[in-house]
Structure 1
Amino acid sequence: MRIAIDRRRLVDRLQEQANIGGIDGERGLDRVTLSEADREVRDWFRDRMTDAGLDVRVDEVGNVFGRRPGADPDAGTVLLGSHLDSQPHGGIYDGPLGVLAALEFVETLEDEGITTERPVELVNWTNEEGSRFQPAMMGSGVWAGALSQEAAYEATDRDGVRFVDALERIGYRGDVPAEPGYDYDSYLELHIEQGPRLDDAGDDVGVVTGVVGFQWGEITFEGQANHSGTTPMHHRRDALVGAADVITGVRRIPGTLGERTVGTTGVIEADPGSINIVPGEVTFTVGFRDPDDETVAEAVDRVKGEAAAAAEREGLEWRYEERMSVESVDFADRCVDAVQSAADDRGYASQRLVSGAGHDATRVASVCDAAMVFAVSEDGKSHSPQEFTDWDDCYAAADTLANAALDLAGVADE
């Protein structure tokens, strides 16, 4: 059995949520986790789930679920969702498209009077982005047992605000344990690709077979702050020079390891930060990703070697601190096949690919079988107000998600 979701309703909902935390004069979002805008969009989403007749619950880390019963109450649940939080200057599709496509699936079941064999749940995961509180994928990580709830609660933002305090302030510290409260059969997540492969190929949807592994870390060099005009060059212990050498290594190392290896330095902090003082301490982030976990480990080892060499050249002390490490994930064949079958049956051109970005599905895959659907990202842009996915591409991916989910949930008395 195949269904057709309501394109107009999906687009209207996407536009509605984009107004919550929207950036003035741009089409992007500033809706970081546990902000006032996050509270507002959570309230809005809860109302939509209630309108759809779902039983809504909030767990202790703020994950919001909506449950629709199936004909067999003992059958494993099919879970669908993503996240509503954004980067500080993010796009309107990253995350919200997956949440609202899942809602559209349930509303279509209601419209058509379809009872599924398995129960179906929707979820908005807390703090997928990790832009305010680290680590990323926090809500799904606690729920899946990859992170401790205590550690999540004690995480702080740059202003020293604890996660648990921010959660309570917006009223989303629920009383349901942050753990699987039911038996889960499978999980599907729709997300924009956040890369150019679908757009370059002219395909309609991506059938995601897995997610790369990655490690984020932080390197600190300690030298000697001193006067920039009176300190001879051969007397300097310039922490920023050491950092610059390693940062060029972060750019260079991936090209020696593999086609899919990527490395990035996204944050640099130099102290004391004055134009006429030699930097005495510099801290910067490094991150490597690859579908092969051993390749990620090799990249980290190499950057540590570069740091040690730079420290010796410049007379510096250095240290490396791991901030987050996630192993690669291969999705379950039966879930991937359900997505592929739905795309084929609905006539969408597709390709199979591995996600280069982390997603909540990475965590949930340890609880139950999982897979993902990708929507086209025009020019591969994401984490930016310039992020764009055409409404037709939104619909194609959401339509694929809905029909794959129906396959997994089954139709009662079909």
Structure 2
Amino acid sequence: MSVAGMLREIAAVGADPTRGGFSRAGYSGADRELREWFTGHATARGLDLERDRNGTLWAWWNPGGSTQRAVITGSHLDSVPGGGGYDGPLGVASALAAVDLLRNRAVVPEHPIGIAVFPEEEGSRFGVACLGSRLMTGAITPERALALTDRDGDAFADVARRDGLDPAHLGPDPERLSRISSFVELHVEQGRGLIDLGEPVAIASSILGHGRWRVTVDGQGNHAGTTLMDDRRDPMVAAARMIVEIRDLARATPDARATIGRLEPVPGGTNVIASQVRFWIDIRHPDDLVTAALIAETRDRVLAAAVAEGCRSEVREESLSPTVDFDLGLRETLRGTLADAPELGTGAGHDAGVLATAVPTAMLFVRNPTGISHSPEELVEDADAELGAVALADVLQGLAAPPQTRRSTEHMMAR
């Protein structure tokens, strides 16, 4: 079945009539429906299914019965609020299609091929991106993960339990990681690199270092009509000052990106001066030392803006990922398979970046003709989606199949 055909099957799941696009938060009803969709496709292909203790789904094609030196591909199915339809699901559907292509070529893998579907990659529900892969690699402790809460105040511990996971068993899984020889994630490109190059598929070189910080500003809640302007300690005004300062700081730092995409006033009434405002900062830069300096300066400016308005403030780190340079040996192997594919870095985080601390990882990007992501305008044309699946199949064949079964194929550059 084509990649485009599989994606059309889930085109209504999590559709958001208010924001547009899709809202598929981790462990939500939409997320469960998407996991059932994947399970159905994996079962139809005779793949062996399992769900690990951290909530990751695994579908195994294992003709030889070995459990060692597994070659893994896959991605995630959750989305940001009002996100596009390709960020995550494209990589999962392409992985299924790649298995179909390899079977059509009569390839018999020497090493098992697995498709992984990681939970809560976007972090849109519990605030920490790549939660499943972070738990598996030990990048987040189970204690911290279980204490995370969503917007409704539900703790991850309770949500995980209702979803069939045992909170007592969450955490690092070194035995599973030791069986993985490589992980290759295919993903929609979240920028314009391939548009400008006129190519359908690229090999990833690196991921910018990035982190998320929560800012809490406490002031004095009061009546909008009876409180004179000079008598106010308004955390919303302080937050506004902070947001502009953060924007200006990023503008003055070459290659930096700073975003405030979420702001929550308490209590949130139109005729009420807020008593508290929370907002979240996303900061990214290719140099980890610069990222550290940026957040240190951000803390100073946040504190100064709070004092200027008679408020108090706190900046708390929620996640931090250093700059990732993908495995050189694995990238060289991909270049040998996809000789015409360019190499591109990305400013977006991925499970592949988290897994890079534990196993050799690589990524493929598929052209996005809009250059827009995390938005309903995100797009992959059907023809490029199929070329991406062929490129992924070629890569998996090179990594998992014995030499005598490898044969030249018309891969994605034959267009």
**TM-score under structure 2 normalisation?**
0.89
Q: Which amino acid aligns with 1:289?
A: R
Q: Select 2:374's aligned residue among 363, 383, 387.
A: 383
Structure 1 match to 2:197: 201
Contact 1:58 1:173 in 2 (8 A): no
Identity of aligned residues (%): 35
**Secondary structure in 1 aligned to 2:336?**
helix
CA deviations 1:246-288 (Å, max 9, x no partner) are 10122111222212x1001111222343444443322211120
| 1:105-144 to 2 correspondences below 5 Å | 105-144=98-137
Matched letter for residue 349 of structure 2 = G
Residue 235 of structure 1 corresponds to 231
1:65 corresponds to 2:58: yes
- Counterpart Cα distance in 1 of 2:197 and 2:404: 40
In the alignment, the residues of structure 1 paired with residue 98 and residue 271 of structure 2 have an alpha-carbon distance, to the nearest angstrom, of 60
Within 5 Å, which residues of 2 pair with 1:86-101?
Answer: 86-101=79-94
Conservation of the 8 A alpha-carbon contact between 2:107 and 2:401: no
Give RMSD over aligned pairs: 2.5
Aligned partner of 1:361 in structure 2 is 352
Of 237, 246, 252 in structure 2, the residue corresponding to residue 250 of structure 1 is 246
Alignment CA distance shift 1:220-1:70 (3 Å): same
- What CA distance in whole angstroms lies between the structure 1 residues aligned with 2:226 and 2:142? 52
TM-score by length of 1: 0.89
Inter-CA distance 351–252: structure 2 relative to 1 (3 Å threshold): farther
Match of 1:266 in 2: 261
- Report the secondary structure of 1:266's partner residue: strand
Cα contact 1:61–1:149 (8 A) shared by 2? no
In structure 2, what residue type is equivalent to 1:269? E
Match of 2:297 in 1: 302
Q: How far is the alpha carbon of 1:380 from its aligned partner? A: 1.8
What is the rounded CA distance, in whole Å, between the counterparts of 1:232 and 1:151 in structure 2? 42
Partner of 1:21: 14
Deviations 1:302-332 (A, max 9, x none): 1112112212322222111111111111111
1:222 corresponds in structure 2 to 218
Q: Output the CA distance in 1 between the equivalents of 2:89 and 2:262.
A: 26
Aligned to 1:192: 188
Paired with 2:214 and 2:396, the residues of 1 have a C-alpha distance of 40
Q: Out of 305, 312, 316, which is 1:317 matched to?
A: 312
For the pair 1:395 / 2:386, whether they are aligned, the reply is: yes
After TM superposition, give the deviation of residue 139 of structure 1 in Å. Answer: 0.8
Report the 3-state secondary structure (helix = DSSP H, G, I; strand = E; otherwise coil) of the residue aligned with 2:206: strand
- Closer, same or farther in 2 for the Cα pair 1:57/1:270, shift >3 Å? same
Aligned to 1:3: none
Length, aligned pairs only: 402
Q: Among residues 342, 352, 367, which one is paired with 1:351 in the alignment?
A: 342
Distance in 2 of aligned mates of 1:25 and 1:326: 32
Q: Provide the rounded CA distance (Å) in 1 between the counterparts of 2:103 and 2:90.
A: 20
Structure 1 unpaired stretches of 5+? 1-7
Q: Which runs of 5+ in 2 are unaligned?
A: 406-415
